[in-house]
Amino acid sequence: MTVVIGAVVAHDGSLLRVRRSAGTSSGRGERAMRSMSVEPQARHAPFSTISWMQSPHATQTPSSRRTCGHVRSAPAGPAGEGTLHHGTRARRTVYERRMAVDHLSTKEGYDRWAEVYDTDGNPLVALEEPEVDRVLGDVTGLAVADIGTGTGRHAVRLAAAGARVTAVDFSEQMLARARAKAGALDIAFVCHDLTHGLPLADASFDRVVCGLVVDHIADLAGLFGELKRITRPDGIIAVSVMHPAMMLKGVQARFTDPTTGRETRPASHPNQLSDYVRAAVTVGLGIAHISEHAVDAELAARLPRAQKYLGWPMLFLLGLRP
């Protein structure tokens, strides 16, 4: 089934219609995926943002909804969740739930996250890595930049596949773990804040990956422009991010601090799919690949944290060309 879900602006200013095909993969280990195709439309058609149209067969299962000024909540669940009542009890419940979360700057958050980043069973990471590899293709002998490398999960894997990798991140704690994993692999590590440009030469990389980073970036066009600048004319840029639909479940980048036992959230920005597409088009990048990926039964069975997101879009992926 194909539905029209919105529009984007092409290089020449013409309007493009975006269609999404819904389908389910059948092979073992494959991910359920919705892909988008782009078709030219009238040059002067109106455009503001991508608008999404819900399938009439879609089912919404919110845990609570506001009706006539009252709140209806789901039955009592995990700690901190339960039926809300008006008055003091409701205010106390909300206060306690808010106090259970530490909000940190992006850098401080990732410095703390480094200790458990590779071991906390993150389903988004498990979903993302094979999809990024499909967009990048064979990297043997190629120069690859891993922008926002974190603990080096992409850098180490790509270097092991034969790439010469330059890995950039602003968290020394993350980089320390990346260096420890790299061993003798051909990886050059650079500690640098991505919001201040990239200390890399023009047109110096065949492949560029920016994995699970851009939801922490306010100036998307600035970063996308830098990704374009460092990529060779025939290169490929892979940009992955947590799907904005996860925000409907109250989810953003987060982890449980092993020291405090509290949920900790590095600062993020509520960017939408249209923001990422618009930023890419604005700086002159071509869209070669665009896809959304949901949690399937295999991933939910393998990682307990993924079970509550079964069938929910978790990953958004762009493949871009300079």
CATH 3.40.50.150 is the classification of domain 102-321: yes
> Do 169 and 182 meet the contact criterion of CB atoms below 8 Å apart?
no
pLDDT at 7 over 90: no
Task: Give dist(CA 298, CA 101) in Å, integer.
Answer: 30
User: pLDDT tens digits, residue range 279-298?
Assistant: 999 999 999 999 999 999 99
What residue has token string 């890399």? 200
Q: What is the pLDDT of residue 180?
A: 96
Quick count: other Cβ atoms within 10 Å of Cβ 88? Answer: 8
Please state the pTM of the whole predicted model.
0.68
Q: Which residue has the higher pLDDT, 186 or 90?
A: 186
Domains of the chain: which residue ranges? Answer: 2-40, 102-321
Q: Terminus-to-terminus CA distance in the chain, angstroms? A: 32
Cα dihedral 224→147→303→180 (10° resolution)? 180
Pairing of strands 164-169, 143-147: parallel
Q: What is the strand order of the sheet 205-211 is part of?
A: 2-9, 15-23, 33-40, 286-294, 313-321, 231-242, 205-211, 143-147, 164-169, 187-191
Task: Give dist(CA 80, CA 240) in Å, integer.
Answer: 32
> Do 7 and 47 meet the contact criterion of CB atoms below 8 Å apart?
yes
Q: Which residue has the higher pLDDT, 161 or 79?
A: 161
* DSSP for 137-205, written as a single string: ---TT-EEEEET-TTTHHHHHHHHTT-EEEEEES-HHHHHHHHHHHTTSSEEEEE--TBTB--S-TT-E
Q: Which element (helix H / strand E) includes 55?
A: none
Task: Give dist(CA 295, CA 314) in Å, integer.
Answer: 7
- Between 6-20, 76-90, 105-119, 270-284, the lowest mean confidence (pLDDT) is in 76-90
User: pLDDT tens digits, residue range 44-76?
Assistant: 333 233 333 333 333 333 333 333 333 333 333
Q: Which element (helix H / strand E) includes 220?
A: helix 220-230
